[in-house]
Amino acid sequence: MRAAATLAFWVTGVVAVFLTFPVAALLRLATAPFDPDRRAVGAWLRLVARSLLHACPFWRVTVEGAVPPPPQRYVVVPNHRSMLDALAVGCVPGETKWMGKASAFSFPWLGWAFHLAGYVPVVRGDRGSGARALARMRAWLDRGLPVGVFAEGTRSRGGPLQPFRAGPFKLAAEAGVPIVPVAISGAGEAMPADQPFVRPARIRIRILEPISTAGLGQDAVERLRDETRARIAEALGDVMTLVKP
């Protein structure tokens, strides 16, 4: 049964990938004159992500909490344990511009769709690339759109939370916008890192209360980082002493 579910998931995923870019390209072409923020393409990518999560009969997906209502801007910060987290954040309501590793943007079709949506690539470990990516994310914030960054930088591969990087918290403090922590649980059990098989799991996307940055300066970045990590760890039930920032 698990083998059949795994096969069905990957077949559905391959079909979705091949459809993603042509539909995204058509949407971008049709809406470019009146959709400078590329919201139509973003909505399409979120629909694909949610559909793939709900397509597997082994997974029960629930979303708890809510993001601040528009036109408020904010920085979404989720944890990262599985490749399925990239699908899970598609369940976060509203248009959000995501930062992701540059290698994902080089994939044919899917990566091209990321570019069309206005998502921002970054080369892991390259400070210059990181600075340019954060500048592009700030530009989206200045246009009135929320942005999202996986603060761990890479998957924790089923273990406790890894140290959070300072970038998204510096970005939020400079822009004076709140941080919205998101705790994703169950994705690592549904599809463990580096394993292709799906497993029964309950995937929970918990949108936690925003953390205000109003009136805070750059000296508060470390505190914001630690508070965000602590809230996500508490929601996940992690023992944070196992991996210290």
Is pLDDT at 164 greater than 80 in this prediction? yes
Specify the pTM. 0.91
Is pLDDT at 102 greater than 50 in this prediction? yes
Which residues on neighbouring strands pair with residue 64, listed in sequence order? 206
Which of 223, 139, 208 lies closest to 173 in space, CA to CA?
Answer: 223
120-122 β-sheet, strand order: 59-64, 201-207, 179-185, 75-78, 147-148, 97-101, 120-122
**pLDDT class for 240, splitting at 50, 70, 90?**
very low
Looking up tokens 């340019």, which residue turns up? 132
Domain that holds residue 61: 2-242
- Helix (H, G, I), strand (E, B), or coil: what is residue 98? strand
Question: What average pLDDT does this structure show over 30-48?
Answer: 97
- Helix (H, G, I), strand (E, B), or coil: what is residue 42? helix
CATH value at residue 164: 3.40.1130
Q: What is the per-residue pLDDT for 172? A: 96
Which residues on neighbouring strands pair with residue 122, listed in sequence order? 101
Question: What average pLDDT does this structure show over 90-105?
Answer: 95
> How far is C-alpha 198 from the geometric centre of its chain's CA atoms?
20
- Note whether 98 and 182 are within 8 A (CB): no
pLDDT in tens, 130-161: 999 999 999 999 999 999 999 996 655 556 78
Please count the structural domains in the chain. Answer: 1
- The larger pLDDT score, comparing residue 237 to residue 42, is at 42
